[in-house]
Chains A and B, each alone.
Chain A
């Protein structure tokens, strides 16, 4: 049995809350914007997305899978680093892939499930962040040679995604308008948090 423990990624340690989903008959955990999880356990990974990207990856041979939920950060108007948004997005995706490799996955076997990028906040965001998020992710997957097995993107409604990590199966459902405000607030909080998180990284010469 593949261990879900990794010495390197906190995200593959037991998640903060594991509950039993009676509909799917699986232990489940929720991911919030900015989070990533990879596992070989038979868990259900659950998240809700509006304009963010949710990408799920699965290796059917190693029977491991994972999910990353993110958006590209805005450029900092005072210190614009044009490449910072792409670096963050690449980091989220590469981190997910690396976590899966540590679980026994092989790059050439990975397949992607792509969701999100909804335009639920028309007029509130400059530009179209949902489209930007999806376009970036598509380009990344194409460059890395990872096929998109299934997708539901650039819609008008938020989506709740249920991804069976070991089995590589996904189910999605639309979110009614009454829940949109919570999704909006959550994504806005994440978007503001990203400005502080996108900082120079660590390094050292011995």
Chain B
């Protein structure tokens, strides 16, 4: 039986760039989302252990240690995040991001730099499915 969603939609935003976390987080909050932030994969996993699965994860590709593609693959194996939609964002060329996102099992991808409206449009589609 599907549970009713109470309150704003939660997003886990994972990015090792403080600037990008700030600007993207601000834009998402202004759009009404509840944003949880993590600056690397370990912090993301700790957040999930503490707070449970969000409605969607938005994950940066290139991070030291476990990168975004590896993180998505790890989260796909977790029972609590197996079905959570994932969006991969990257500074890499678009063709590379598309390929990596598909192989990792992401639902969407977005090349950096993007305007907030572009991410919001993608989230709107992903969350409506």
In the assembled complex, 7 residue pairs joining A and B whose CB atoms fall closer than 8 Å, in A order, are: A81-B115, A83-B115, A88-B113, A91-B91, A98-B91, A202-B94, A206-B101
Q: Mark A175-206, 1 if CB is under 8 A from B, else 0.
A: 00000000000000000000000001111111
Contact between B16 and A206 (Cβ–Cβ < 8 Å)? no
Contact between A101 and B64 (Cβ–Cβ < 8 Å)? yes
Contact between A90 and B110 (Cβ–Cβ < 8 Å)? no
Q: Which of B6-14, B17-25, B44-52, B76-84 contacts A (4 or more CB under 8 A)?
A: B17-25
Say yes or no: is B29 at the interface (Cβ < 8 Å to chain A): no
Contact between A94 and B114 (Cβ–Cβ < 8 Å)? no
Q: Which residue of A lies closest to B92 (CB)?
A: A8
Q: Which of B62, B93, B97 contacts A102 (CB 8 A)?
A: B62
Contact between A91 and B63 (Cβ–Cβ < 8 Å)? no
Q: Which of A81, A87, A101 contacts B62 (CB 8 A)?
A: A101
Q: Which of A124-132, A138-146, A166-174 contacts B (4 or more CB under 8 A)?
A: A138-146
Residues of A within 8 A of B94 (CB): 201-202
Q: Mark B74-106, 1 if CB is under 8 A from A, else 0.
A: 000000000000000001111011100110001
User: A9-B92, A88-B113, A95-B91 are contacts. A203–B17 as well, Cβ < 8 Å?
Assistant: no
Q: Which of A84, A143, A205 contacts B19 (CB 8 A)?
A: A143
For the complex, what is the distance from the CA of A45 to the CA of B98, rounded to whole Å? 31
